[in-house]
Amino acid sequence: MSEIRKVVLAYSGGLDTSVILQWLQDTYRCEVVTFTADIGQGEELEPARRKAQKFGVRQIYIDDLREEFVRDFVFPMFRANTVYEGEYLLGTSIARPLIAKRQIEIAREVGADAVSHGATGKGNDQVRFELGYYALEPNIRVIAPWREWDLNSREKLLAYAESHGIPVEMKHKNGGSPYSMDANLLHISFEGKVLEDPAREPEADMWRWTVAPEQAPDQPRYLDLTFSQGDAVAIDGQVLSPAALLAELNRLGGEHGIGRLDLVENRFVGMKSRGCYETPGGTLLLKAHRAIESLTLDREVAHLKDDLMPRYAALIYNGYWWSPERRALQVLINHTQKTVNGWVRLKLYKGSVTVVGRESDSDSLFDPAIATFEDDQGAYQQADAAGFIRLNALRMRIAARLQKVR
């Protein structure tokens, strides 16, 4: 272990990574550089700096990555209308490749031999972090303490923290440990406690960003979302940066009880897990993006995107953001978005979001002269449909005749 001289730790300042910080120093006798990413988790990050300083860390990185996160990771993912297993908007999954990228950049800057993370050996995040590390720096050494140490219970972890003077801030108002939570500008997730029983309803006070739909305002809220080449750029005509736009959508969606999800999902490592998610802004964004695409995308291009989306979603969920196949798919997806321009009007009401209008001045493929139920002045020859139908029915007619012979 003596060959490790310096390691960059993805550090939140919470119990687990604070214990890991001390454990790395004790076990590897190496210098630890801490890296804390601000991706919109909504927490004060300076306490993480103070904790790191307390334990002798000399190089402390606290980086504001909010704009990069939304612009270069969330928005490209939403151009594909990405949903995992029909429901999950991949809030945790999409943050990991950015954290891995910045961690590797810091390792290069400081000349570190290794990187370390606080993901457990049961979850997806260990895979996401490490696939990112290796894709970006193939010879990097990875230290995953949860796979190495013997602190394999909460009691042992707390005892280690107490013996080393590590502050423990994990009291829950109802007693016991809090939920395991992960937050960023796209979502907040919850695992553990009563959620470990899939039959039990989540506690009402668990939710942080969204009001209960039945407690949402009695009047609907309408908003217009403007798109340019597949990305949302303005709300009600006000142009906003990617991070500011997503934060405002989170606020609006949360006020109207939109974006809650209770899901049993299939982890990459093979087990099923139950998690709850709040993704108010992402829920609005997905609804609006599909609406503007319905107006501006060719039918077969739209259907091709829908065919590819589950594969694309699985790549992100399983940690393959930096893979050549994800990058190749992204080129195709980005190409389809050149004509995805216009605005969409959404109606927010008590947990639901409805598309009530959409328009594209320059790229709409909707032709009212052809689609009208009134006199189309010869724009569409209805008699042409007879031959079209007979040709499409040909194989079925042949099969039906064969069945009659038998």
Active site residues: 16, 96, 125, 180
Classified as helix, coil or strand, 228 is strand
Nearest to 342 by CA among 362, 324, 323, 368: 362
User: Which stretch of DSSP H or E encloses residue 32?
Assistant: strand 31-38
**HSE, side-chain direction, 13 A CA sphere, residue 153:** 3
Is the separation of the CB atoms in 144 and 167 below 8 Å?
A: no
Rounded to 5 degrees, what are φ and ψ at 364?
-70, 135
Partners of residue 223 on adjacent β-strands: 346
Is the separation of the CB atoms in 33 and 116 below 8 Å?
A: no
* Residue-wise DSSP of 302-370: HHHHHHHHHHHHHHHHTT-TTSHHHHHHHHHHHHHGGG--EEEEEEEETTEEEEEEEE-TTT----HHH
Is the separation of the CB atoms in 62 and 21 below 8 Å?
A: no
* Residue-wise DSSP of 51-93: HHHHTT---EEEEE-HHHHIIIIIHHHHHTT--BTTTB--TTT
User: Which stretch of DSSP H or E encloses residue 133?
Assistant: helix 125-136
Rg (CA), the chain: 25
Quick one: 216 exposed, middle or buried, by C-beta within 10 A (0-12, 13-18, 19+)? Answer: buried
Beta strands at 60-64 and 114-116: parallel, antiparallel or unpaired: unpaired
